Structure 1
Amino acid sequence: MSPPPPPLTNLPTLPDLLLTALSVCFLFTSSKSNIASSNACPFLSFPLNPRRLLKIPAMSHTASSTTTLSSSPSNRKNNLNIFAPRRHNFASPQSLSDWLKPRLPSESFASWGTKPGTKNVHNLWLELAEGETSLADSTPPVRTVQVLSVRVTGKHGKFLVESHQELSDGNVRMRGRPLSEKMKPNEDPESAAVRAIREELGSVIEGSEVGDIVTIDPNSYQMAVEERDSASYPGLPGCYVLHTLSAQVEGLPEGDFCTYEVDEYGDSDEKKLANRAVSVKKHYWTWVS
Structure 2
Amino acid sequence: MTPPPPRYPPFTSLNPPYPSPPNLLSLVAAAVSAIVKYNNHRPFPLRKKRHLSFYPMHPSPLHSPPLTFTSPDSLSSFLSPRLRDNSLATWGTTPGTKTLHNLYHEISQGETSLLLSDETLIRTVHVASINIRNSRGLILVESKQLLSDGSVRERSRPLSEKMKPLESIEEAVARAVREELGESVVVEILDGSSNVRVEERESLSYPGLRARYVLHSVEAKVVQGIPEEGEFETEETGEDSFDITGEESEGKAVTVKRHYWKWVDERDLKR
* TM norm structure 2: 0.69
Q: Does 1:144 align with 2:124?
A: yes
Q: Does 1:169 align with 2:146?
A: no
Gap change, CA 1:111 and 1:270, over 3 Å in 2: closer
- Cα distance per residue 1:171-230 (max 9 Å; x no partner): 11111000011000000111100000001001xxx4x3x6xx331113110100111110
Among residues 253, 258, 261, which one is paired with 2:227 in the alignment?
253
Give the residue type in structure 1 aligned to 2:138. K
In the TM superposition, residue 161 of structure 1 has moved relative to its aligned partner by: 0.2
Q: Give the aligned partner of residue 288 of structure 1.
A: 264
Equivalent position SS for 1:191: helix
Q: Give the aligned partner of residue 77 of structure 2.
A: 98
Of 233-242 and 82-91, deviating more is 82-91
Listed as ranges, the gaps of 5+ residues in structure 1 are: 1-72
Gap change, CA 1:246 and 1:119, over 3 Å in 2: same
Give the residue type in structure 2 aligned to 1:229. E
- Cα distance per residue 1:117-140 (max 9 Å; x no partner): 111100000000110111112544
Matches within 5 A, 1:1-289: 74=51, 76-77=53-54, 80=56, 88-138=67-117, 139-202=119-182, 206=183, 208=184, 213-249=186-222, 250-254=224-228, 255-265=230-240, 276-289=252-265
Give the residue type in structure 2 aligned to 1:282. R
Gap change, CA 1:75 and 1:282, over 3 Å in 2: closer
Counterparts of 1:127 and 1:197 in 2: how far apart (Å)?
20
Gap change, CA 1:117 and 1:246, over 3 Å in 2: same
In the TM superposition, residue 106 of structure 1 has moved relative to its aligned partner by: 3.7
Counterparts of 1:98 and 1:244 in 2: how far apart (Å)?
35
Higher relative contact order (CA closer than 8 Å, sequence separation 6+)? 1
Contact kept? 1:87, 1:128, Cα under 8 Å: no
Of 242-251 and 179-188, deviating more is 242-251
Counterparts of 1:154 and 1:165 in 2: how far apart (Å)?
22
Structure possessing the higher radius of gyration over alpha carbons:
1
Q: What RMSD over aligned residues (CA atoms) do the two structures have, in Å?
A: 2.7
Gap change, CA 1:232 and 1:180, over 3 Å in 2: same
- Cα distance per residue 1:154-181 (max 9 Å; x no partner): 1211110000111111111111000011
Contact kept? 1:87, 1:131, Cα under 8 Å: no
Q: Give the aligned partner of residue 40 of structure 2.
A: none
Counterparts of 2:53 and 2:126 in 1: how far apart (Å)?
13
Q: Give the aligned partner of residue 42 of structure 1.
A: none
In the TM superposition, residue 74 of structure 1 has moved relative to its aligned partner by: 4.0
Equivalent position SS for 2:193: strand
Gap change, CA 1:180 and 1:83, over 3 Å in 2: farther
Quick one: percent identity of the two aligned structures? 51
Contact kept? 2:244, 2:252, Cα under 8 Å: no
* TM norm structure 1: 0.65
Q: Give the aligned partner of residue 22 of structure 1.
A: none
Q: In proportion to residue count, which structure has more helix?
A: 1
Counterparts of 1:118 and 1:227 in 2: how far apart (Å)?
18
Give the residue type in structure 2 aligned to 1:142. I
Counterparts of 1:125 and 1:173 in 2: how far apart (Å)?
20
Contact kept? 2:243, 2:253, Cα under 8 Å: no
Counterparts of 1:160 and 1:124 in 2: how far apart (Å)?
28
In the TM superposition, residue 105 of structure 1 has moved relative to its aligned partner by: 1.4
Give the residue type in structure 1 aligned to 2:99. N
